[in-house]
Structure 1
Amino acid sequence: MARSWEDLRARVISGVAMICIAFFVFWAGGHLLRIAFALVAAGMVWELVRLLAPEAQKSALAMAGAAGLALLGTMYLPLSLSLPLLLAPAMAGLAWVPHNRSIYLSFTALILIAAFGMVQLRESAGMLWLLWLVLVVVVTDVAGYFAGRAIGGPKFWPRVSPKKTWAGTVAGWVAAGLLSLVFVTWYGAGWSLVGLSIAVSMASQMGDIAESAMKRKVGAKDSSSLIPGHGGLLDRFDGMLGGAVFLLLVGPWAGLPVAAVQ
């Protein structure tokens, strides 16, 4: 039992640091928010290329730089003209990445679309609405971590993610639903937010599973060692990719109570 909690201290310290930095960046908004998201997206692409093609170190740096600059360009240039920039690094990687090109293509596109969508959410709906999205993903992960280790039980998908259990998976849905009640009670958000929060929680778990499957394919445990107790940026923000892209897709039709939580 002790071994199952051995990474808790490092996870907590790193988690608190990331929360403080994220809160400040979300609050500041503007150029700082855009640059921060571009740097994180670039770091995730760098990790991705190193996972898929460890020998292509120069390609990893080149693709990371291209991804960060493309995302910044999309944020500052006229939107209707700059949207192709979001997908350009993914397409360019087909020539630069020697192996697993389909994985690179899909993950890079998801990274850039998710980062772009989260910045747009902050700028159009306000800080609190972006915090809701982040908190749904965070409580899903935290509840899954503790419930999975405390309760145990049947594994969710042992071939892909050996540590994940059904107890942790369901606990993530419950935690997301409970979090949504805070927004319903305190900020007057509609009750539809409960269902949307649980769906975003599920999407974040799908992002986590997809990243786990990718690492399993290339034989890696973590995407990198950048974040103590968490692995790399991809390990920490894989759920955010799923949740953000899902919200970006369904948001216009989900009746989001944006005005109520600005």
Structure 2
Amino acid sequence: MTTTTRSQFGDFLRSRRKKLRPADVGLNDGQRRRTPGLRREEVAQLADIGVDWYVRLEQGRAVSPSEATLDALARALRLDKAEAAHLRALAHRNEPRAFVRESVPPTIARVVASLDLPAYVTGRRWDILVCNEAASDLLGFDRLAARDRNIMIYMFIEPEARRLFGASWSDEARRMIALFRTNHDLYAGDPAFVELVERLRSGSDEFARWWMAHDVRSGASGQKVFAHAQHGTQRYEYATFQANDDPALKLAIYTPVDGEVSQETVN
């Protein structure tokens, strides 16, 4: 692990430890606790590792946990599949190359442009690299300044996203933070990621507060409901795909749900 990744590894362990209650893992609460969550000694006991060793991991010290230790920590902290995968990704991360904004191959760009369905391509930092007319009409990406064409900036800084998602904005925003975190932690020390997170923190109180939770989750398909100013309430299914040309590129496609698209104008 790099120094930055070790820090993220330790922060993640700490965040999961603080989320657990003694009763969650079969321990007696006993004396009143000054801080929420399990104690470090309790996690070490549950994982059957030394307290000193666990403290070094949480402090981001230069230690290398084995696969058996990672498995034990995942069980002790009751990590779900996405959280356990994130823990292992951080543990195995070597020095990454400096982030460079990706470029979309012309063939992929032409495919996206040819689609009638809303579609766009993002990179590792969730920059919006290419979007088609249908995506611009639905999401308003074409109205963003060049430096603002990023999914996280759009969601937390641009007023358009709050209007479009309406009552579902909070749930969708928290879901996006947890998804983005799995990318961010692997590049946490890179200036491009640092600049993005600092801008989000200063521009959105919700982002600053939810970011501290250090939640992670894996990507999945699903549905989104939009309150579009011109086209009314619209429900879409969405799915994402990685590009063979560059696995960092992710194609998102939105498909209207049958019978769930209203043409009435939203007031």
TM-score normalised by structure 1 residue count: 0.37
* Greater RCO (Cα-Cα under 8 Å, separation 6 or more): 1
From the two aligned structures, give the one with the greater strand fraction.
Answer: 2
- TM-score of the superposed pair, with normalisation by structure 2: 0.36
Task: Kindly name which structure, 1 or 2, has the bigger radius of gyration based on alpha carbons.
Answer: 2
